Amino acid sequence: MNFLNIDDLSREEIDDVLTRATDLKERTARGKTADGMDGQTLGMIFEKPSTRTRVSFETGATQLGGHAIFLGPDDIHLGHGEPVKDTARALSRYVDVIMARVFDHADVVELGEYAEVPVVNGLTDDAHPCQTLADLLTIRERFDGFDARVAWVGDGNNVCQSFVLGAAIVGLDLVVATPEGYGVDDAVLERAEELGSAPEIVADPQAAVDGADIVYTDVWVSMGEESERAEKLEAFSRAGFQVNEDLLDDQEVMHCLPAHRGEEITDAVMESDRAIVWDQAENRLHAQKGLLTYLLD
Ligand code: CP
Ligand code: NVA
C-alpha cells in the first residue's frame, strides 16, 4: 500500500503505526537497532529541501537495520529527464520503499500508481501525512489519548490539511483560524466531515486559542511560495496571526518546523517551555519507523 494522505490509514491502522512507533522509540535508542528493515533499502526523492524528514527517515532506516539513499533534485531524472512513471518503475526494481517530497501532489500519486513498492508522501504542496503521524504521536503521549483541544493558527496549507484529516480520524477537538483567502481547501473539509467531523473554522486567532490546550502553527510562506512572500506576510501580520505571548494563555505550542521567528512565531515562544516542538521533531523519527515497519510487514 501507499501512504500519500493521512486518510490512507484507518483509525485502527493509525493506532497500529503509533503503537509500533512507541515501541520502537523505547527499543531503538541511539546505537540500538531493531530488525524491521533488515537489509532493505529506502529510496528518498527530494525536490525541496528538508532537515527533519530527510534525517529522520534516513536514521530510522538505519535503526531498523536497513539503508536509505538520498536522491536530490540534481541527482535523478524525475520529471525533467524522464517521466515520473518511469522513475517509479525503475526505482521499484532496486529499493523496497520510496519516500518522495515533491511540489505537485499529482507526482506522488503517479509514483504510487506505477511503483511496485510502497510510496510514502514526504510532503507535497497539498499534504504532509508523515508530519501528522508524528503530531498525533506527540499529542497521544502528552494526553494519553486524543482528548485535547487544538487550535491551528496560520496558513491552511499542506501541514494544516493533513492535520485536519488526522484530527477527524482520531477525534481531536480542532479549531482552525486562517486569514481570509488562505483557508483549508473545501474538498479537505468535506473529507474531514466524512471521516468524523470537520474542524470549527474561525477568522479570529484569539477566538481559536482561547480554551485550547495546544496551539499549532506553521510558516506563512511555504517552500515554492517565495513569489507570494510580501503579499502573505502582509496578510497574516495584518490579521494578527503571529503566535506570541500576547495571544497565548497557558497553551503548549506545536510547530512542524522550520520556524521563521518574527513571522508566524516569536523567538520568545520558540525558546519557552511551552514550545513542545523538539519532542514533536524527535517523534518524526519514531513515527517514521512505525510507518516503515507497517508498510513493509
Ligand atoms: N517538518 C518538516 O517536514 O521539516 P523538514 O522540512 O525539515 O523536513
Ligand atoms: N508548509 C511548509 C512545511 C514545511 C515542513 C512548507 O511546505 O514549506
**176-203 tens-digit pLDDT:** 999 999 999 999 999 999 999 999 999 9
Gyration radius from the chain CA atoms: 19
Domain range 6-126+284-296, CATH class = alpha beta
Q: Whose CA is nearest to atom 6 of ligand 1?
A: 50
Amino acid at 64: L
Contact (Cβ atoms closer than 8 angstroms) between residue 14 and residue 70: no
- Ligand 1 centroid to Cα of residue 161, in Å, is 16
Q: Is 162 in the pocket of ligand 2 (CB under 6 A)?
A: no
- Of the residues 53, 56, 153, 157, which should be mutated to test ligand 2's pocket, given the most ligand atoms within 8 Å of the CB? 157
Residue 202: enclosing H or E segment and its boundaries? strand 200-202
**pLDDT surpassing 90 at residue 32:** no
- Verify whether residue 284 is a known catalytic residue: yes
pLDDT band at 33 (very low <50, low <70, confident <90, very high): confident
Architecture per CATH, domain 129-280, reads as: 3-Layer(aba) Sandwich (3.40)
Q: pLDDT value at position 286?
A: 97
Q: Residue 127: count other Cβ atoms within 10 Å of its Cβ.
A: 25
Q: pLDDT value at position 202?
A: 97
β-bridge mates for residue 254, sequence order = 216
Q: What is the pLDDT of residues 127-156, one digit of tens each?
A: 999 999 999 999 999 999 999 999 999 999
- Verify whether residue 251 is a known catalytic residue: no
**CA dist., res. 277 & res. 288, Å (int):** 17
Ligand nearest to the backbone CA of 50 = 1
Could you say which DSSP state residue 123 is in?
-
- Measured CA angle at 286 (ends 34, 97), to 5 deg: 70
Cell of 16: 497500529
**pLDDT surpassing 80 at residue 20:** yes
pLDDT band at 119 (very low <50, low <70, confident <90, very high): very high
Helix, coil or strand: residue 273:
coil
Would you say the CATH fold of 129-280 matches that of 6-126+284-296? yes
- Of the residues 257, 260, 285, which should be mutated to test ligand 1's pocket, given the most ligand atoms within 8 Å of the CB? 257
pLDDT band at 4 (very low <50, low <70, confident <90, very high): very high
Among 20, 54, 255, 284, the active-site one is 284
β-bridge mates for residue 265, sequence order = 243, 261
- Domain positions in the chain are 6-126+284-296, 129-280
Ligand nearest to the backbone CA of 232 = 2
Phi-psi category of 271—alpha, beta or left, where left has phi over 0 and alpha has psi -120 to 50?
alpha
